[in-house]
Structure 1
Amino acid sequence: MMSITSGWNDYRPTKAGLIWAAAGASILTMVVGFAWGGWVTGGSAQTMAEQASQNAREQLVASICVENFVADADAAANLVALKEESSYQQDDFIEDGGWSNVTAIDEQVTGAADLCAEQLVAMEALPARTLGSDTAPGVIPTTDG
């Protein structure tokens, strides 16, 4: 009777068998990598990078928009008016008010006004502003010795 180890030691695969085994292992590796390993093609990676860049721009401009809205002298009245608008017109209200405009960016960032409106509508009340500050919103005052 032949043992498993001696049978394994005596086994001599053919070249065709080795080639098919290598091809099968390569295909299996690719299937596992793309399906569960998180591998993507170059085109998919480019699309994902562009989407992440757009989302980051939207978030940044929306944050600036919220700051501009809150810093406005009529912020409380504007917040009430914003909440009275229908959800599909709130972004127009933000754009018309100019709060989503960033001077360093020539064109409007698509989706930023929507995000800004969502964040503002979700607020229960406006954050407290520091009155009497001689600096613009978002500027950290410095002390010169």
Structure 2
Amino acid sequence: MKIPPSTGPALVGVLVGAVAVMILGFSFGGWMLGSSAQKMADQRSAVAVIDALVPFCVTQSKADPTGSAKLVELQAITSTYERRDFIMKAGWATTPPTEAPNSDLAMACSKVLS
């Protein structure tokens, strides 16, 4: 069986077209690898968990017997990182199953309480 002479350029065209579709798909079409999608899902779920726990932190600040005095102190602090540390030291960003405060929760809580 003899291969027609136009088969070579057709195969090259198919190969170039496949590579072009892959480049366009990954660059502009929204395609991604499974590992990239997993990273994005992990980041979004972490943000959602923090958003869900912010009301808990605010409730902790209101339930604290010295909470009103601490809120006045918190308002006087200008640095966001110092506010985060203040909330962590106050214990408002510590959720019940854990013993250590969550710094991301403290940062989000400081934005709400300010």
TM superposition score normalised by structure 2: 0.79
The two structures, once aligned, show a CA RMSD in angstroms of: 2.2
Counterpart of 1:37 in structure 2 is: 29
What amino acid is the match of 2:97? A
Q: Distance in 1 between matches of 2:8 and 2:99?
A: 63
* 2:57 counterpart of 1:61: no
Identity %: 31
Q: Distance in 1 between matches of 2:33 and 2:106?
A: 33
- Between Structure 1 and Structure 2, which shows a larger proportion of helix residues? 2
Flag the structure with larger Rg: 1
- Gap runs ≥5 in structure 2: none
Matched positions, count: 110
Contact 2:84 2:110 in 1 (8 A): yes
What amino acid is the match of 2:10? L
Q: How much does 1:107 deviate? A: 4.3
Cα distance change, pair 13–104 in 1 and its aligned pair in 2 (3 A): farther
Q: Distance in 1 between matches of 2:25 and 2:5?
A: 28
Cα distance change, pair 106–34 in 1 and its aligned pair in 2 (3 A): farther
Q: Distance in 2 between matches of 1:15 and 1:91?
A: 67
- Gap runs ≥5 in structure 1: 1-11, 122-145
Query: Which aligned pairs between 1:87-126 and structure 2 lie closer than 5 A?
Result: 87=79, 88-121=81-114
